[in-house]
C-alpha cells in the first residue's frame, strides 16, 4: 500500500442543486415555448399585454432553454464527473456555490428583463450590458473553480470528457465577451459597437458557436462520461476521440457566416462559413460514432433500460442535426430554408433530441446515486421516454413541412411570370394546421417533463436522513516518470499512435493554450478581413443616420422584439426582389447599431417598408392588426398609442451613437427638440388622414417615423436632407 494516500470526499450537494435547477428552468423554458407556439396559432393569446407578447417571450424561451436548462444540465454533469475524473473535490466549495447562485440570479434577471423589453436584439445574446458583465464574472468564477480542481487533481491524464469541458469554458468566455461589446446608453440600454455587416458577422460568429460550445461540446463531454458509465462499456476509439475533438474545436469557429448566405455579408465570408460547415460533418459524426459504437454488445440492455434509450435517441438526434447543419449551410439549400420554419425544426431536433434527451438520461442515472435511493419508477421514466420521443417526431415533422411549404410558396411563380402567392398572408395561413401539430408535439414533450419532475420528487422523498459521503482515497501526483513504452519507429507511425497527445493530456495548461490558440486563430482568419477590407462595405452617399425620432422608434422596434418575426434583409434572388423591392446593399446598414436583419420571417420583410403604406395604416395596423388583415397572426401593440414617448431620454441615445462614430451633426445638442418637431409633423399627417387627433407625444409616432424611413435612403438623392444627418 502506498503510505501517501490522501483521503477526501466529493461534493455532491452542489450537483443536487444544479440538478433541481435543470429541471425547474427546463419546465419553465418549455412552458414558455408551448405558449409562444400557441400564440402563433392563436394570436389572441398575446392578450394585448406587452410583457406577454410573442416578440418579448420568444427570447425568454430560447434563453431559458439554452442557458438555464441546458446550462444547468451541463453544470450538473460537469460538477459530478469532473471531481471523479480528476479524483479531487472541487477546488472551492465557496466558488461552487457562488457559481450556482450567480447563474440562477442571471436567469432570474433574464426572466424579468426580457419580458420588460430590455434587449440587445442579438439572438441568444439579448441580455443587456449589466447582466452581460455578471455573466462574464460568474463564468470566470466557474473557470477558476474548474481549473483549480484540475490543478489539485490526483489523476495524471485528462480524460476526453474534460477536454470538451475545457474547450467549452474557454471558448464561451471569448464568444460572450467579444459579441457583447457595446456602448451603454442607459442603465439597461446599450448599442453594439459593431454596425451592420460587421455586427451581423460577429453575432453569427457568436450565435453559431454558442450552439457549438454551449450545446454541443459540453454535452459531448457529458456523453463521454455518462454513456460508458450507464452502459458499462469502454469507449469505442480513443484515437477517434482525439481527431474529432480537435477538428471540432478548430473547424466549428469558422462556420458562423453560413447564417448569412445571400445577405449583404461579402460572399467570400459566407462561402467560407459554408465550406467549413461541410468539413464539420465528419468531425461531428465522430462523436456520434464513438457514442453508438460504445454500445456494441450492449444493445440488449438498451431495450430494457430507459436511460440508455434516452442516450441512443440523443446521439441519433445529434447525428441527424449535424448532418442537416452542413446540408443547410450549402448555399442553394439555404436559399430555400433560410427565414423559414425549417431552421426552427433543425434547432429543435438538436435541443429537444440531443440536449434534452442527454440531460434526461444523465439525470435518471444520477438521481439514485445523488439521492442514495432507488429511482421511484423506471416505468414512469420509460413512459417519459416514449411521450418525449413522439413529441419530438410530431414537432419536427410538422415544422419541417411548414418550412418547406412556406419556402416553396415564397419562390413560386405562375405561368404569367408573376409571384404565385403575392400576398404574404397566404403563405402564413397555409401553415396553421402544422402549427397546431407543433403545439401537440410540444405538449407531449412537456407532459414527459412533468412526469420527469414527479419521478424525481418521489425519488428525492425516499432519500436517507443524511447523505452518506464516502471517503475516497487516492495518491497525490508525484513527479512524472516517463514509462518505458516502446517507441514506434518513424515519425508518421509515432503520430498515428497519438503518443504526443498522451503527453498533452497530462499538461492541462498546454492543452488549454492549444485549444485557445485553435479557436482564436480560426476566428481571426475571418474577423480580420471582415473588419479591414474596405470593399466589403462600399459606401453609399445617400445613406444618412436615423433622425432622433427614428432612432427612438428603432429602439421601440427592438424593445418589442419585432426582429423575431420580421427580417430587414432582401436577398438578391428574383422572388425576393419581386416581392420586397431592390436587394439590400452592405452600405445601407453602416449606422445600424445593432443590425436588425432577423433570421425568421413569420411576417414579411421590412427592409423597404418605408413609404409603402400611409402613416395611418401603420397606426391602425399596430393598434389592431386583424382590422387591417383579418388572418394576420401579429400581436397587437395598443400601448404604443397610449404610452408617452420619452423625448428627453433620446439625447443620451444619440450621444451613445455619436460615441460609436455616427455623424449626428446638430442632433448632438438638440435631439429632443428635433424629435418633437418631427413627431408633430407625423401626428398631423395621421390626423389629416382621418386618424386619432393628437398622437404627437406617443410612442407610435416614433415607430411610424422609423418604419417609414426603412429602406428609403438607397433611392434618395445624395443631397437630400434628413433631420439627423447634416
Residue numbers of the site for another protein (CB under 8 A)? 81, 84-85, 87, 155, 157, 159-160, 225, 228-229, 234-241, 243, 247, 262, 267-268, 271, 274-276, 278-279, 281-283, 285-286, 289, 292-293, 295-297, 299, 414, 416-419, 422-423, 572-574, 577-578, 583, 611-614, 616-617, 620, 628-629, 689-690
CB nearer to another protein: give 14 or 107: 14
Take residue 677 and report the three cell numbers written for it.
418637431
Question: Distance (Å, rounded) from C-alpha 134 to C-alpha 102?
Answer: 8
Upper half-sphere CA count for residue 716 (Cβ side, 13 Å): 19
Length, in residues, of the chain: 726
Smallest CA-to-CA distance from 677 within 697, 662, 649, 691 is with 697
Q: How far is the CB of 701 from another protein (least distance, A)?
A: 17
Q: How far is the CB of 348 from another protein (least distance, A)?
A: 26
Burial class (CB in 10 A: 0-12, 13-18, 19+), 257: buried
CB nearer to another protein: give 159 or 400: 159
Q: 222: Cβ–Cβ under 8 A, 6 or more apart, which residues?
A: 73, 74, 77, 78, 81, 161, 358, 362
CB nearer to another protein: give 23 or 583: 583
Give the SS3 label for residue 555: helix
Q: How far is the CB of 714 from another protein (least distance, A)?
A: 15
Are 246 and 163 in contact by the 8 Å Cβ rule? The answer is no
Match 450507464 to its residue by C-alpha cell. Answer: 230
Is the N-terminal amide bond of 673 cis, ω within 30° of 0? Answer: no
Question: Distance (Å, rounded) from C-alpha 237 to C-alpha 181?
Answer: 41
Q: How far is the CB of 56 from another protein (least distance, A)?
A: 26
CB nearer to another protein: give 265 or 456: 265
Q: How far is the CB of 271 from another protein (least distance, A)?
A: 5
Strand partners, 184: 190
Q: How far is the CB of 572 from another protein (least distance, A)?
A: 4
CB nearer to another protein: give 78 or 292: 292
CB nearer to another protein: give 179 or 722: 722
Q: How far is the CB of 707 from another protein (least distance, A)?
A: 12
- Triad 629, 635, 637: Cα angle to 5°: 100
Q: How far is the CB of 416 from another protein (least distance, A)?
A: 6
Strand partners, 182: 192
Q: How far is the CB of 549 from another protein (least distance, A)?
A: 20
Question: Distance (Å, rounded) from C-alpha 491 to C-alpha 497?
Answer: 10
CB nearer to another protein: give 449 or 710: 710
CB nearer to another protein: give 237 or 405: 237
Smallest CA-to-CA distance from 475 within 7, 109, 28, 10 is with 7
CB nearer to another protein: give 496 or 509: 496
Question: Distance (Å, rounded) from C-alpha 44 to C-alpha 411?
Answer: 30
Indicate the helix (H) or strand (E) that contains 6.
Answer: strand 6-8
Q: 388: Cβ–Cβ under 8 A, 6 or more apart, which residues?
A: 352, 356, 357, 360, 444, 445, 448, 449
Are 553 and 702 in contact by the 8 Å Cβ rule? The answer is yes
Q: How far is the CB of 172 from another protein (least distance, A)?
A: 24
R_g (Cα) of the chain, nearest Å: 27
CB nearer to another protein: give 147 or 285: 285
Q: How far is the CB of 492 from another protein (least distance, A)?
A: 14
Q: How far is the CB of 39 from another protein (least distance, A)?
A: 22
Residue 147 has φ and ψ, to the nearest 5°, of -70, -30
Match 490558440 to its residue by C-alpha cell. Answer: 517
Question: Distance (Å, rounded) from C-alpha 67 to C-alpha 29?
Answer: 10
CB nearer to another protein: give 229 or 463: 229
Any idea what DSSP says for residue 720? -
Upper half-sphere CA count for residue 444 (Cβ side, 13 Å): 19
Q: How far is the CB of 179 from another protein (least distance, A)?
A: 26
Take residue 552 and report the three cell numbers written for it.
427612438
Smallest CA-to-CA distance from 681 within 589, 588, 615 is with 615
Take residue 485 and report the three cell numbers written for it.
513504452
DSSP codes, 63-85? HIIIIIIIHHHHHHHHHHHHHHH
Q: How far is the CB of 478 from another protein (least distance, A)?
A: 17
Q: How far is the CB of 116 from another protein (least distance, A)?
A: 32
Q: How far is the CB of 291 from another protein (least distance, A)?
A: 12
Q: How far is the CB of 713 from another protein (least distance, A)?
A: 17
CB nearer to another protein: give 156 or 374: 156
Is the N-terminal amide bond of 594 cis, ω within 30° of 0? Answer: yes
* Residue 598 Rama label (left phi>0; alpha psi -120 to 50; beta): left
CB nearer to another protein: give 173 or 251: 251
CB nearer to another protein: give 384 or 411: 411
CB nearer to another protein: give 123 or 609: 609
Question: Distance (Å, rounded) from C-alpha 264 to C-alpha 266?
Answer: 6
Number of neighbours of residue 518 by Cβ within 10 angstroms: 21
Q: 524: Cβ–Cβ under 8 A, 6 or more apart, which residues?
A: none
Scanning 120-231, the segments in alpha helix (DSSP H) are 129-151, 160-179, 196-210, 217-231
Are 607 and 647 in contact by the 8 Å Cβ rule? The answer is no
β-bridge pairing 189-192 and 472-474: unpaired
Take residue 643 and report the three cell numbers written for it.
404610452
Q: How far is the CB of 70 from another protein (least distance, A)?
A: 23
CB nearer to another protein: give 247 or 503: 247
CB nearer to another protein: give 583 or 595: 583
CB nearer to another protein: give 185 or 703: 703
Amino acid at each position: 500500500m502506498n503510505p501517501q494516500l490522501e483521503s477526501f470526499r466529493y461534493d455532491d450537494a452542489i450537483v443536487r442543486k444544479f440538478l433541481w435547477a435543470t429541471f425547474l428552468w427546463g419546465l419553465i423554458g418549455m412552458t414558455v415555448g408551448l405558449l409562444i407556439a400557441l400564440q402563433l396559432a392563436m394570436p389572441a393569446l398575446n392578450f394585448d399585454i406587452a410583457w406577454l407578447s410573442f416578440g418579448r417571450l420568444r427570447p425568454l424561451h430560447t434563453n431559458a432553454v439554452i442557458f438555464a436548462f441546458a446550462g444547468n444540465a451541463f453544470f450538473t454533469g460537469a460538477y459530478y464527473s469532473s471531481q471523479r475524473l480528476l479524483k479531487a473535490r472541487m477546488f472551492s466549495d465557496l466558488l461552487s456555490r457562488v457559481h450556482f447562485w450567480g447563474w440562477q440570479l442571471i436567469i432570474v434577471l433574464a426572466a424579468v428583463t426580457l419580458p420588460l423589453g430590455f434587449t440587445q436584439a442579438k439572438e441568444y445574446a439579448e441580455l443587456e450590458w449589466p447582466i452581460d458583465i455578471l455573466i462574464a464574472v460568474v463564468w470566470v468564477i466557474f473557470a477558476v473553480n474548474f481549473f483549480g480542481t484540475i490543478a489539485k487533481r490526483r489523476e495524471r491524464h485528462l480524460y476526453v470528457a474534460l477536454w470538451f469541458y475545457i474547450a467549452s469554458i474557454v471558448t464561451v468566455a471569448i464568444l460572450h465577451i467579444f459579441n457583447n461589446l457595446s456602448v451603454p446608453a442607459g442603465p439597461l440600454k446599450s448599442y453594439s459597437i459593431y454596425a451592420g455587416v460587421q455586427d451581423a458577422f460577429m453575432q453569427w460568429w457568436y450565435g453559431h458557436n454558442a450552439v457549438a460550445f454551449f450545446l454541443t461540446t459540453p454535452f459531448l463531454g457529458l456523453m463521454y462520461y455518462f454513456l460508458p458509465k450507464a452502459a458499462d462499456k469502454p469507449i469505442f476509439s480513443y484515437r477517434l476521440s482525439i481527431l474529432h475533438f480537435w477538428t471540432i474545436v478548430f473547424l466549428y469557429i469558422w462556420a458562423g457566416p453560413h447564417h448569412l448566405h445571400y445577405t449583404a455579408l461579402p460572399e467570400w465570408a459566407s462561402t467560407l462559413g459554408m465550406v467549413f460547415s461541410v468539413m464539420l460533418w465528419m468531425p461531428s459524426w465522430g462523436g456520434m460514432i464513438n457514442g453508438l459504437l460504445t454500445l456494441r454488445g450492449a444493445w440488449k440492455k438498451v431495450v430494457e433500460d430507459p436511460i440508455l434509450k434516452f442516450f441512443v435517441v440523443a446521439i441519433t438526434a445529434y447525428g441527424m442535426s449535424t448532418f442537416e447543419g452542413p446540408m443547410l449551410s450549402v448555399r442553394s439549400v439555404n436559399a430555400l430554408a433560410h427565414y423559414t420554419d425549417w431552421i426552427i425544426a433543425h434547432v429543435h431536433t438538436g435541443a429537444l433530441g440531443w440536449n434534452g434527451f442527454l440531460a434526461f438520461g444523465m439525470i435518471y442515472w444520477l438521481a439514485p446515486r445523488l439521492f442514495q435511493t432507488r429511482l421511484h419508477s423506471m416505468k414512469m421514466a420509460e413512459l417519459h421516454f416514449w411521450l418525449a420521443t413522439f413529441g419530438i417526431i410530431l414537432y419536427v415533422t410538422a415544422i419541417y413541412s411548414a418550412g418547406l411549404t412556406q419556402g416553396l410558396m415564397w419562390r413560386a411563380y405562375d405561368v404569367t411570370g408573376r409571384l404565385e402567392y403575392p400576398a404574404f398572408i397566404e403563405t402564413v395561413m397555409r401553415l396553421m394546421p402544422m402549427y397546431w401539430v407543433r403545439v401537440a408535439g410540444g405538449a407531449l414533450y412537456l407532459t414527459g417533463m412533468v412526469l420527469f419532475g414527479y419521478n424525481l420528487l418521489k425519488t428525492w422523498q425516499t432519500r436517507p436522513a443524511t447523505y452518506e459521503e464516502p471517503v475516497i482515497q487516492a495518491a497525490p501526483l508525484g513527479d512524472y516518470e516517463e514509462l518505458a513504452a516502446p517507441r514506434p519507429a518513424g515519425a508518421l507511425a509515432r503520430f498515428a499512435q497519438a503518443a504526443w497527445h498522451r503527453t498533452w493530456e497530462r499538461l492541462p495548461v498546454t492543452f488549454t493554450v492549444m485549444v485557445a490558440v485553435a479557436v482564436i486563430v480560426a476566428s481571426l482568419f475571418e474577423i480580420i478581413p471582415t473588419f479591414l477590407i474596405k470593399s466589403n462595405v462600399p459606401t453609399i452617399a445617400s445613406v444618412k443616420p436615423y433622425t432622433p425620432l427614428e432612432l427612438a422608434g428603432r429602439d421601440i422596434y427592438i424593445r418589442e422584439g419585432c426582429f423575431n418575426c420580421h427580417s430587414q434583409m432582401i436577398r438578391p434572388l428574383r422572388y425576393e426582389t419581386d416581392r420586397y423591392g431592390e436587394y439590400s446593399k452592405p452600405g445601407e446598414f453602416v449606422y445600424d447599431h445593432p443590425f436588425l436583419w432577423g433570421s425568421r420571417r413569420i411576417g414579411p420583410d421590412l427592409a423597404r417598408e418605408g413609404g409603402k403604406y400611409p402613416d395611418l395604416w401603420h397606426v391602425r395596423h399596430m393598434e389592431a392588426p386583424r382590422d387591417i388583415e383579418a388572418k394576420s397572426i401579429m400581436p397587437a401593440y395598443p400601448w404604443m398609442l397610449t404610452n408617452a414617448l420619452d423625448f428627453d431620454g433620446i439625447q443620451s441615445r444619440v450621444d451613445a451613437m455619436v460615441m460609436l462614430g455616427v455623424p449626428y451633426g446638430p442632433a448632438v445638442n438638440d435631439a429632443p427638440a428635433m424629435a418633437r418637431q418631427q413627431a408633430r409633423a407625423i401626428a398631423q399627417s395621421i390626423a389629416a388622414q382621418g386618424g386619432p387627433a393628437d398622437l404627437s407625444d406617443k410612442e407610435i409616432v416614433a415607430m411610424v417615423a422609423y418604419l417609414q424611413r426603412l429602406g428609403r435612403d438607397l433611392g434618395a438623392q445624395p443631397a437630400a436632407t434628413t433631420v439627423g444627418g447634416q
